Chains A and B, each alone.
Chain A
Amino acid sequence: MKTGLSDLLCVNRKFLIYNLIVRNLKIRYRKSYIGIVWTMLIPAANAIVYNIVFRYVMKVDIPNYLVLILSGLIPWAFFSTALTNGMESLVGNQSVLNKVPIPSYSFTLAEVLTAFTNLILSIPVITVVVLFSQVDFSLLQLFIPLTLVILLIQAYGIGLILAYAFVYFRDLRHLLGIVIQIWFYLTPILYRTTMIPEEYRFVLFLNPVASLFQYIHMALGIEEFSIQPIFASLVWTIIIMILSLLVLNKLNDDVVESL
Chain B
Amino acid sequence: MMLPVISLNSVSKSFTLWSDRTYSIKELLVNLSRGKIKSAHKKKIEVLQNISFDIYPGEFVGIMGHNGAGKSTTLKIISGIYKPTTGSVIIGGSIAPLLELGAGFTDELSGYDNIFLNAAILGFGRRKTSQNLDSIIEFSELGDRIHTPVRNYSSGMTIRLAFSIAVHLDAPILLFDEVLAVGDVSFQQKCINKIMELHKQGKTIILITHSPEIVQQFCDRCIVISNKMKIFDGNPLEGVEIYKSSTFKH
Residues of A within 8 A of B (CB): 13, 15-16, 18-20, 22-23, 26-27, 30, 93, 95-102, 168-172, 175, 253, 256-257
Contacts and interface: CB of A to CB of B under 8 A. Distances in A.
B103 interface: yes
24 contacts: A13-B120, A15-B120, A15-B126, A16-B123, A18-B120, A19-B116, A22-B113, A26-B113, A27-B106, A27-B108, A93-B104, A95-B100, A95-B103, A98-B81, A99-B99, A99-B100, A99-B103, A100-B103, A101-B97, A101-B123, A102-B121, A102-B123, A169-B22, A169-B28
Interface string B1-22: 0000000000000010000001
Among B22, B26, B80, B104, chain A packs the most CB atoms within 10 A around the CB of B104
State the majority secondary structure of interface residues on B: loop
B79 interface: yes
Interface string B110-134: 0001001100111111100100000
Contacts, number: 78
Interface residues of B, number: 32
Given A99-B81, A169-B28, A23 B121 contact: no
Contact of B82 (A16, A20, A102, A256): A256
Contacts of A26: 108-109, 113
Contact of B120 (A16, A93, A99): A16
Among A97, A101, A168, A171, chain B packs the most CB atoms within 10 A around the CB of A101
Contacts of B82: 256-257
A22 B121 CA distance: 13
A253 B77 CA distance: 12
Contacts of A95: 100, 103
B103 A257 contact: no
